[in-house]
Chain A
């Protein structure tokens, strides 16, 4: 489990996040939603340690990240997998080398074992026969799947997924969402997805956190989300025509 306590973050005196308190549970897909610029990506970066919070702390399985020494942080990071918005695959490495990269850096196994593990991860995300291609030679959807394969190579306890569906067609988005859900259940990871895609939220979210006006404005399940009378949340989730139709259908019932 990941716990965020009284987390605030400012840049040059401008407050971006204010007193965020949240618990992200193990084996669940926790989705952080919010408008562009609401601070959800900053929240994710504070949680993974890419940004230092101005105030507050982040606890991984009860252990404060801010209190850890450099070596402990390094070890913890080997338990974290992250899929970035653009994939963040290394351009100079092939698909196979990208997935093997964290294993080469940290795992104590033979090259053959690393290859087997990388092959398993690639099969798990349904990629085969692309081992020797470079990231630029595969589609955006494939890059995301390779990113997931790389994220799970070290069998992480914590999985972070940043805007997984940006730039993808609806079908590929569903594939990425399903993979995120399957991997969370299969590896029992604490998964945190940053998104503003309501299809993804309605498809796979176990628990939803709505960030608005620098604060954690609302949290709950999918069912609670649809029935919430929170004004700002309503405006956000029913902004699209599809979600408006869902609401109309619910009101008719």
Chain B
């Protein structure tokens, strides 16, 4: 019953979020601010993680399948495929759920316990729309860019690790990255990214919006936001993979 209650209330909240904005210009300004806060300010951690992720995939691929029967391009190919199909869209989204999701839940939760959401409601502002819609739009726009940067950096990280440690030549790695490339996998990754971005923003906002109590409860909401965002992302990842790749 508890789960059904939360699912029902989540979709009712989304109904409020997507109702007509009072003033589009104010919403748009907030969206741009959110793109900076939730997207641009995540660039550092995304870049760092992606570089090392690619590097580790390259080294592990080479060391685990080192055989004369394995073609030379396999390291570049594996880094590209695993990065684009799974690591960048899913793992980075899970990381963003931690960083961005907790920020969203803590911000909205604090506003709730400090009566700022009540203040919006009393003014006649649709508080759910005003607070949550810009975050959804911002993450849905900015996250695909973050993930594309992540893809590039991860593949670059693989090249750096491979070439600098001498386990593969630059030409072989690049040939592997280019081998049998199907652009659809990028489309698939970006579709997943947008879905995950919406999940992160809405699930986290839901937990923040319905915070009750004080600062301790704000902390609990932030934790729940991250945990539930991760769980929903993993379920959605499975469903989307089945839907889009099979």
Contacts and interface: CB of A to CB of B under 8 A. Distances in A.
A91 B112 CA distance: 12
21 contacts: A50-B118, A50-B121, A50-B122, A73-B124, A74-B124, A75-B124, A76-B124, A78-B123, A80-B122, A80-B124, A82-B122, A84-B115, A84-B118, A84-B119, A88-B119, A90-B119, A102-B125, A104-B23, A106-B22, A106-B23, A106-B123
B123 A105 contact: yes
Interface of B: 22-23, 26, 110-111, 114-116, 118-119, 121-125
B150 to A, nearest CB: 28
Contacts of B110: 91
Contacts, number: 55
A91 B115 CA distance: 12
Contacts of B116: 88-91
Contacts of B111: 90
Nearest to B121: A50
Interface in A63-122: 73-78, 80, 82, 84-86, 88-91, 101-102, 104-106
A253 to B, nearest CB: 43
A87 to B, nearest CB: 9
Contacts of B121: 49-50, 77
Residue from the set A78, A86, A105 with the largest chain B CB neighbour count within 10 Å: A105
A68 to B, nearest CB: 12
A77 B124 CA distance: 5
Interface residues of A, number: 25
Nearest to A48: B122
Contacts of A48: 122
B118 A78 contact: no
Interface in A41-61: 48-50
A88 B115 contact: yes
Contact of B26 (A74, A80, A105): A105
Contacts of A105: 22-23, 26, 123-125
Contact of B114 (A50, A86, A104): A86
Nearest to A147: B119
A91 B111 CA distance: 9
B122 A77 contact: yes
Contacts of B26: 104-105
Contact of B115 (A85, A101, A102): A85
Contacts of A91: 110, 116
Contacts of B23: 104-106
B114 A88 contact: yes
A88 B110 CA distance: 11
Residue from the set B111, B114, B122 with the largest chain A CB neighbour count within 10 Å: B122
Given A80-B122, A105-B123, 6 more contacts: A50-B121, A74-B124, A76-B124, A77-B121, A88-B115, A106-B22
Contacts of B114: 86, 88
Nearest to B30: A92
B1 to A, nearest CB: 15
A165 B152 CA distance: 57
A82 B119 contact: yes
Nearest to A45: B118
Contact of A78 (B115, B119, B124): B124
B93 to A, nearest CB: 26
A121 to B, nearest CB: 14
A89 B119 CA distance: 8
A160 B118 CA distance: 13
B118 A102 contact: no
A160 B110 CA distance: 22
A21 to B, nearest CB: 23
Contact of A88 (B22, B118, B124, B125): B118
B28 to A, nearest CB: 12
* The 9 A-B residue pairs with the shortest CB-CB distance in the complex, in nearest-first order: A77-B124, A88-B119, A88-B115, A74-B124, A84-B115, A82-B122, A78-B124, A88-B116, A102-B123
Nearest to B123: A102
Residue from the set B26, B111, B118 with the largest chain A CB neighbour count within 10 Å: B118
Contacts of A86: 114-115
B243 to A, nearest CB: 36
Nearest to A85: B115
B215 to A, nearest CB: 13
Given A105-B22, A106-B22, A77 B118 contact: no
Contacts of A76: 124
A43 to B, nearest CB: 15
A78 B124 CA distance: 6
Contacts of A75: 124
